[in-house]
């Protein structure tokens, strides 16, 4: 009876605590380039069946319903919302946003593996190669593109062609192409932190292509895709989560009070 209420309410509080962690992470990344918000999903636990639906009663008829007592809830999954984020104009030549589906490919120097990102805040390393703009690790764009040291202007087309202008030459010369990849199930990608994702069995293998073709988005130079987190929406979720947590704690208090009352009864 009330003992079960304690355990059921406790599972609800544990689940809501996880949802609070997800909301806090969303709010913490409001200003993170290319960040995609997460959503915690819940499911009910198994049930105690005191009487099964369709049981035969004393008259030989079948009951239309049964007596099934739920035993709480848990987090079933945390899904990532890959909807497009808004664009922020920066004016930087190596800032590139993806308008539509797709991910940039970069090489992790520690493992040599290709990882994926929506963040297009690129920079150049000492060799003139395009890398992710990170102060911790210089991850090369894949395929590698090198900008000549005397380049005075960099132009990146919507289709990913990278061209430069050099002194004494008014014409643009091509130095490489930016390719994008897509996944059948991007929600199955593994989040690595630092705006990076890794391929998993759930995501499927990446399909490489040219921006603007085969369902891939196009590139926008001088822009960055900002986080798709909506602060007002997250604050509303935060309030409802807090209230739900309080209701579960109230259920525990009521269950405890009932147990105290039962324990204080004396035979007369």
Residue pLDDT, tens place only, 31-48: 999 999 999 999 999 888
Q: Same domain for 127 and 243?
A: no
Over 70: is that where the pLDDT of 72 sits? yes
When pLDDT is cut at 50, 70 and 90, the band that residue 266 belongs to is low
Q: Same domain for 154 and 180?
A: yes
Residue 238's alpha-carbon distances to 17, 55, 95, 121, in angstroms, are 11, 43, 33, 31
Q: Same domain for 120 and 196?
A: yes
Asked whether the beta carbons of 217 and 101 are under 8 A apart, the reply is: yes
Rounded to 5°, the CA angle 92-93-98 comes to 90
Average pLDDT, the chain: 91
Is 58 part of a structural domain of the chain? no
Closest by CA position to 254, among listed 35, 1, 2? 2
Q: Same domain for 93 and 201?
A: yes
Query: What is residue 268's predicted lDDT score, i.e. its pLDDT?
Result: 47
Q: Same domain for 217 and 249?
A: no
Q: Same domain for 170 and 138?
A: yes
Is 28 part of a structural domain of the chain? yes
Q: Same domain for 45 and 135?
A: no
Q: Same domain for 161 and 200?
A: yes
Question: Would you call the peptide bond into 143 cis, given omega within 30 degrees of 0 as the criterion?
Answer: yes
Q: Same domain for 203 and 186?
A: yes
Over 90: is that where the pLDDT of 225 sits? yes
Is 7 part of a structural domain of the chain? yes
Is 103 part of a structural domain of the chain? yes
Is 128 part of a structural domain of the chain? yes
Is 244 part of a structural domain of the chain? yes
pTM value > 0.85: yes
Over 90: is that where the pLDDT of 179 sits? yes
Q: Same domain for 103 and 208?
A: yes
Mean pLDDT of 12-33: 96
Q: Same domain for 146 and 254?
A: no
Mean pLDDT of 150-173: 92
Q: Provide the residue range defining the domain that includes 152.
A: 87-225
Over 80: is that where the pLDDT of 135 sits? no
Q: Please state the domain count of the chain.
A: 2
Q: Same domain for 245 and 174?
A: no
């Amino acid at each position: 009876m009330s003992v079960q209420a304690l355990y059921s309410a406790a599972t609800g509080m544990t689940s809501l605590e996880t949802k609070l962690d997800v909301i806090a992470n969303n709010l913490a990344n409001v200003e993170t380039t290319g960040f995609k918000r997460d959503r915690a999903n819940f499911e009910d636990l198994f049930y105690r069946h005191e009487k099964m639906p369709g049981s035969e009663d004393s008259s030989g008829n079948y009951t239309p319903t049964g007596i099934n007592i739920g035993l709480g809830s848990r987090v079933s999954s945390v899904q990532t919302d890959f909807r497009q984020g808004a664009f922020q104009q920066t004016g930087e030549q190596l800032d590139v946003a993806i308008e539509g589906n797709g991910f940039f490919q970069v090489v992790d120097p520690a493992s040599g593996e290709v990882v994926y990102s929506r963040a297009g805040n690129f920079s150049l390393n000492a060799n003139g190669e395009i890398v992710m703009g990170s102060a911790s690790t210089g991850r090369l764009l894949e395929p590698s593109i090198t900008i000549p040291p005397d380049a005075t202007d960099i132009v990146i087309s919507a289709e990913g062609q990278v061209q430069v202008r050099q002194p004494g030459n008014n014409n643009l010369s091509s130095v490489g192409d930016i390719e994008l990849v897509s996944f059948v199930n991007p929600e199955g990608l593994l989040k690595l932190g630092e705006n990076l994702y890794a391929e998993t069995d759930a995501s499927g293998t990446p399909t490489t292509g040219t921006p603007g073709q085969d369902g891939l988005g196009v590139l926008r130079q001088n822009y960055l895709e900002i986080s798709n987190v909506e602060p007002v929406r997250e604050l509303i979720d935060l309030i409802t989560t807090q209230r739900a947590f309080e209701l579960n704690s109230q259920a525990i208090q009521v269950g405890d009070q009932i147990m105290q009352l039962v324990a204080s009864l004396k035979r007369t």
